[in-house]
């Protein structure tokens, strides 16, 4: 079992509150699932231990730290032209 936590709590709170209640519920269930399996079917490896998971039109960008058994959530955002542009900024 992995622990799932935001890389930046303020950013996560900001992103999460922009979602509709239905989207929040889907994202919450997906994040709970990442605790069980951080590499579920459909996740895309962006680079080494950085991944992307699609939940409808929402994208969850996260980093897997296997040694600490932790998943760090970098961003939860709607997909648009800037979602993947300079995506590493979410993990600084």
Residues 82, 31, 11, 89, Cα dihedral to 10°: -50
- For residues 44 and 61, give the distance between their C-alpha atoms in angstroms, rounded to a whole number: 10
Task: State residue 82's pLDDT score.
Answer: 73
CATH assignment of the domain containing 24: 3.30.2310.20
- For residues 21 and 39, give the distance between their C-alpha atoms in angstroms, rounded to a whole number: 25
Task: State residue 77's pLDDT score.
Answer: 86
Residue 48 lies in domain? 3-91
Q: What is the pLDDT of residues 9-51, one digit of tens each?
A: 998 999 899 999 999 999 999 999 999 999 999 999 999 999 9
Residues 75, 76, 78, 84, Cα dihedral to 10°: 30
Count the domains in the chain: 1
């Amino acid at each position: 079992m992995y622990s799932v936590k935001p890389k930046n709590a303020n950013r996560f709170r900001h992103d999460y509150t922009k979602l509709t209640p239905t989207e929040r519920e889907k994202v919450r269930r997906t994040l709970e699932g990442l605790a069980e399996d951080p590499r579920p079917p459909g996740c895309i490896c962006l680079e080494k231990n950085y991944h992307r998971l699609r939940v409808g039109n929402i994208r969850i960008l996260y980093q897997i730290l296997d040694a600490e058994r932790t998943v760090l959530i970098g961003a939860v955002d709607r997909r648009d032209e800037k979602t993947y542009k300079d995506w590493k900024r979410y993990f600084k």
